[in-house]
Chains A and B, each alone.
Chain A
Amino acid sequence: MSRIAALFLELKKTGKKALIPYVTAGDPNPTVTVDMMHGLVDAGADIIELGVPFSDPMADGPTIQLACERALEHNTSLRDVIAMVSEFRTTNTQTPVVLMGYLNPVEAMGYEAFAQAAQKSGIDGVLMVDMPPEESGNNAKIFADHQLDIIYLIAPTTTDARISEIAKFSSGYVYYVSIKGVTGSAAIDVADVSKNLERIRSRVDIPVGVGFGINNGEAAAAVATVADGVIVGSALVNKIAANASQPEKAISEVQGVLAEMRSAMNANQGS
């Protein structure tokens, strides 16, 4: 069983939901990222989505675009990101790590070379924003051969038939994009999410994480009542942006936001 599947199973036993923070690797600079990852775990992260910086992040709003630009000023490459996970794994063997990003850096490195290195470093899953199932082809097999879960997105616009198709390719969890938009653009509508989750759950038998538009404890707790995982990105990356010149403060501010979400989620779950 993968580290991700085991985690969700464990959470289910205790009636808890996963808190899944996203940060862009190399933001504000590459030396901060491993400390940031440990900081996220200390503040209550169950899974870490680590962004691979890309020059043209088409599905991201300004917050994560700028995070990519800061990381790329330091030439943070996919190989660097994999090395960061290796370093993280020297002291943390528990917390699943999912690489999230765009396909071209993987394409440039080569799928087999990437999958080998990712597995070796202790990466658990990959979420390629611009790799829908119909373009996964042989890549999905290469990832699976290296024990990497493949996380796909489901959107409000995804048809029922397509959800069933995506379910066939998915492992670990699926990521429900709660709003039509880019990352960090609008606040989440929990009633709408709840309705869509019913649609998804009847077709997908692995956990469902929900992301986009979750920016405070209240929203996190509300989403946690309906989803298996709460994914938060831009709300954290905004704190990094505001403290880019003081990495330690950036980490503690990010931890503050995450801890608030964790405690709101826990309070709501009565645990």
Chain B
Amino acid sequence: MSNDKNTQNNQQDLPVLPDANGHFGIYGGRFVSETLSAALDELETLYIKLSKDPAFQQEFDEDLAHYVGRPSPLYFAEQLTKHCGGAKIYLKREDLNHTGAHKVNNTIGQALLAKYSGKKKIIAETGAGQHGVATATVAARLGMECKVFMGSTDIERQKLNVYRMKLLGAEVISVESGTKTLKDAMNDAMRHWVTHVDDTFYILGTAAGPHPYPMLVRDFQSIIGRETIRQCDAQIGRQPDAVIACIGGGSNAIGMFYPYLNMQDVRMIGVEAGGLGLAGDDHAAPLCKGRPGVLHGNRTYLMEDENGQIMGTHSVSAGLDYPGVGPEHSWLKDIGRAEYVAATDDEALAAFRDLTRIEGIMPALESSHAIAHGMKMAKEMSSDQVLVINLSGRGDKDIHTVAGIDGLDV
């Protein structure tokens, strides 16, 4: 490392996690009904084998280079930096990936696993539709049948992505149970998987769920942080003071954070959906306001009531509208290695407009949460400091939502 301060690392390296049972401290694990145990064992065995196979890694790397368009740029947002008048702001441009978000890094990896598994059908859950689109995309390329489970509330607010998935040949299954959002889509995807476990591969979209998903999604997304480290060295000659990413399930954040875990001088900040504000219940910020519990196959921080029932969440961005979070983030919060904050709907919308007008880059509403907090931080930092914000996705899919807020029908 070229920067002195990053080499002054007196603290011991963090343990390599998850452990053999998929635990990150008390978090993670495999809390599933028995029917899925064999499928998850099989997936874990396959992944452990392939992750050590240079041919698999090469295939993954080549797909990322030639199909996704990696490496994604690390862009110095000079105008935004001037606007904020503090730390230098760099954007990791995951929005420039094929399909428009970081989600595709993971679906490329899991699609390769699906191919090696010999299973012929793919399912996925989706919130904002980005993971659904990225899954439908890889399924089209592999010629595999694809079903995407999506809450009916999300189908309404992400019409464009729904149509994209259909164009790609996927079947979008409307989920009418519960709160009709991402958590319910995940329930129904699991239910479908239990029933069709022999011929179906479940491409889970975030670094949550039962082991080995949090581990393998993290590993596939870690390309984000590994590239950022290389690019910071090459472009800035040092590592940033902090890396910032939005958190729903937390896959783009863990992808950015994981390679930085043992560079303890680099702060890691996850930005949850503050919705209408953390004072009330209308948000999706389990790390800020929730407590540990068990949902969707893992122990992690959850938004739940005093009786352990999962609460409905609120966020202007469908992709963050989830009551849980990946278990590794829960662990990072408890050990204090990462910090977790929230940005409200209004702050995210303001950041969406700012980045669009100031840099000519339209961020996804999810990523706008990270932008909002990054701008706030930059203003309080000095000009020789550096922030990297993970711009996890582009905002085209949200134009309909933003126009609606503006009272327009486009």
Which residues of A approach B to under 8 Å, CB–CB? 54-62, 65, 69, 72, 75, 77-79, 102-109, 129-132, 134-135, 152-159, 162, 166, 177, 180-182, 185
Contacts and interface: CB of A to CB of B under 8 A. Distances in A.
A76 B304 CA distance: 15
B309 A157 contact: no
B309 A72 contact: yes
Question: A-side binding surface: helix, strand, loop or mixed?
Answer: loop
Contact of A157 (B29, B39, B292, B307): B39
Contacts of A106: 308
Interface residues of B, number: 38
Contacts of A109: 307-308
A5 B293 CA distance: 32
A59 B31 CA distance: 11
A159 B33 CA distance: 14
B306 interface: yes
B306 A182 contact: no
Given A104-B304, A182-B195, A55 B178 contact: yes
Residue in A69, A135, A182 whose Cβ sees the most chain B Cβ within 10 Å: A135
Interface in B56-89: none
A104 B31 CA distance: 10
B7 interface: no
B37 A158 contact: yes
Nearest to B312: A55
Residue in B29, B36, B178, B307 whose Cβ sees the most chain A Cβ within 10 Å: B307
Contact of B191 (A78, A107, A182): A182
Given A135-B30, A158-B37, A182-B195, A58 B308 contact: no
Nearest to A156: B35
A65 B33 contact: no
A152 B37 CA distance: 13
A134 B21 contact: yes
Interface in B23-47: 29-39
A181 B195 contact: yes
A130 to B, nearest CB: 4
A104 B294 contact: yes
Contacts of A132: 30-34, 37
A130 B31 contact: yes
A50 B406 CA distance: 50
Contacts of B36: 157
Contact of A104 (B21, B35, B195, B302): B302
Interface in B257-309: 292-297, 299, 302, 304, 306-309
Contacts of B155: none
B177 interface: yes
Interface string B308-333: 11100000000000000000000000
Nearest to B309: A55
Nearest to B32: A130
16 contacts: A56-B183, A56-B184, A65-B177, A69-B178, A103-B294, A104-B302, A104-B308, A104-B310, A106-B308, A107-B292, A130-B31, A132-B34, A132-B37, A134-B21, A181-B35, A181-B194
Contacts of A55: 178, 309-310
A80 to B, nearest CB: 9
Contacts of B304: 104, 108
Contacts of A182: 191, 194-195
Closest 6 A-B residue pairs measured CB to CB? Answer: A108-B308, A105-B308, A153-B34, A59-B33, A155-B35, A157-B38
Contacts of A180: 35, 194-198
A104 B295 contact: yes
Contact of A56 (B178, B292, B306): B178
Contacts of A134: 21, 29-30
Contacts of B153: none
A156 to B, nearest CB: 7
A157 B197 contact: yes
Given A61-B191, A157-B35, A105 B29 contact: no
Given A157-B37, A180-B197, A181-B195, 20 more contacts: A54-B308, A55-B309, A56-B183, A59-B35, A59-B191, A61-B191, A75-B307, A104-B302, A107-B308, A109-B308, A130-B31, A132-B34, A132-B37, A135-B30, A154-B34, A155-B34, A155-B38, A158-B37, A159-B38, A181-B194
